[in-house]
């Protein structure tokens, strides 16, 4: 039986000038109070994993459309959105490692009454989608990787082991510095995800900023940063036997288009879709093209 969720409040999402008010649902998973949204019915369950500095709001232009034909789940990843931000603890099992985040994905779908899902990940969410599929293939039916970081960025960054104790000891200083830098550079960096910057309205950008910058957000992000390490995905992805779809914007500068083309070539059972006139977030900048590609893929999976 699915675990009963806690309904806390209502939020408002701006969608092309229209507004909807999905309830904020929370559920306890692996030491986190996870903020999520679920709608639709039937199979497969489609789980949407957003990129860094964003939130489940990133799926606002495609969520309801996908939910017309299947069950859709989106949630705020640890350190982002309205999911709680507890400190790491062996006693509570709270961890911000990529592996712990992939375990959380599986634990969440199980708590909500499902055993398998199609994972749709963008950017670092794509990193986690592939990592989860590699670690828990029995619970994954397929993966959609949109501008996924596999050969660069989050998937390959690593805090040197000899530096980690020093950095942990200086957490208050470093987390304040990170807060200053992210706050100062946030708007410019987020706009950089778009090919056509005018498509990102000021109101939506402000909502993304609000989703991130509340509570002890900089400390949580610092803890996530400390746990980054090289995931060696380029070596492991060749063992994948699950159906996969790689989507890239023609003008993606965050994860270069060439990296996604390489991913589609090296990932077994993968198809490639290049979305014209689009940057790093095809589900935001070209939602219609994104939906066409994902719906076609879901028919293949089912």
Instruction: List, for residues 43-77, the tens digit of each pLDDT value.
Output: 999 999 999 999 999 999 999 999 999 999 999 99
Q: Is the pTM for the entire model greater than 0.75?
A: yes
- CA-to-CA separations, 184 to 199, 213, 254, in angstroms, rounded: 22, 12, 19
Question: Residue 91's pLDDT is what?
Answer: 87
Mean pLDDT of all residues belonging to the chain: 91
102 pLDDT above the threshold of 90 = yes
Mean pLDDT of 246-274: 97
- Answer yes or no: are the C-beta atoms of 85 and 13 closer than 8 Å: no
Instruction: Give the whole-angstrom CA distance, residue 47 versus residue 77.
Output: 12
Least confident of 80-84, 125-129, 235-239: 235-239
Residue 106 lies in a domain: yes
Residue 1 lies in a domain: no
pLDDT confidence bin for 15, thresholds 50/70/90: very low
* Peptide bond between residue 297 and the one before it cis (omega within 30 degrees of 0): no
Instruction: List, for residues 178-200, the tens digit of each pLDDT value.
Output: 999 999 999 999 999 999 999 99
Residue 177 lies in a domain: yes
- Answer yes or no: are the C-beta atoms of 49 and 126 closer than 8 Å: yes
Residue 160 structure tokens: 């040197």
Residue 277 lies in a domain: yes
Residue 112 lies in a domain: yes
Please report, for the domain that includes residue 184, its CATH number: 3.40.50.1820
Mean pLDDT of 113-129: 98
Residue 132 lies in a domain: yes
Helical ranges in 98-170 per DSSP H = 98-111, 124-135, 164-169
As a whole-number percent, the residues of the chain with pLDDT over 70 amount to 92
140 pLDDT above the threshold of 60 = yes
Domain span including residue 153:
6-301
Question: Residue 23's pLDDT is what?
Answer: 63
pLDDT confidence bin for 8, thresholds 50/70/90: very low
Question: Residue 9's pLDDT is what?
Answer: 32
Pairing of strands 23-29, 6-10: antiparallel
Q: Look at the chain and report how many structural domains it folds into.
A: 1
């Amino acid at each position: 039986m699915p675990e009963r969720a806690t309904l806390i409040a209502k939020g408002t999402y701006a969608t092309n000038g229209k507004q909807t008010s999905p309830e904020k649902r929370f559920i306890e998973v692996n030491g986190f109070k996870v903020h999520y949204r679920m709608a639709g019915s039937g199979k497969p369950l489609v789980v949407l994993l957003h990129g860094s500095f964003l939130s489940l709001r990133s799926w606002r232009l495609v969520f309801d459309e996908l939910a017309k034909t299947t069950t859709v789940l989106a949630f705020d990843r640890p350190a982002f959105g309205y999911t709680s931000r507890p400190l790491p603890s062996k006693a509570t099992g709270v961890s911000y490692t990529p592996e712990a985040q992939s375990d959380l994905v599986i634990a969440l779908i199980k708590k909500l009454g499902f055993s398998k899902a199609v994972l749709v990940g963008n950017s670092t969410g794509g990193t986690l989608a592939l990592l989860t599929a590699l670690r828990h293939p029995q619970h994954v039916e397929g993966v959609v990787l949109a501008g996924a970081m596999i050969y660069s960025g989050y998937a390959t960054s690593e805090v040197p082991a000899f530096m980690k104790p020093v950095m942990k000891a200086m957490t208050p200083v470093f987390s304040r510095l990170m807060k200053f830098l992210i706050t100062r550079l946030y708007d410019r960096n987020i706009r950089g995800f778009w090919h056509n910057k005018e498509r990102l309205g000021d109101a939506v950008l402000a909502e993304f900023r609000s989703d991130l910058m509340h509570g002890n957000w900089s400390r949580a992000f610092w803890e996530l940063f400390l746990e980054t390490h090289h995931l060696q995905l380029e070596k492991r992805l060749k063992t994948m036997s699950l159906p996969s779809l790689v989507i890239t914007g023609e003008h993606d500068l965050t994860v270069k288009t060439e990296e996604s083309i390489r991913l589609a070539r090296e990932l077994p059972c993968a198809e490639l879709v290049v979305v014209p006139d689009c940057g790093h977030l095809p589900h935001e900048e070209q939602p219609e093209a994104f939906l066409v590609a994902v719906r076609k893929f879901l028919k293949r999976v089912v």
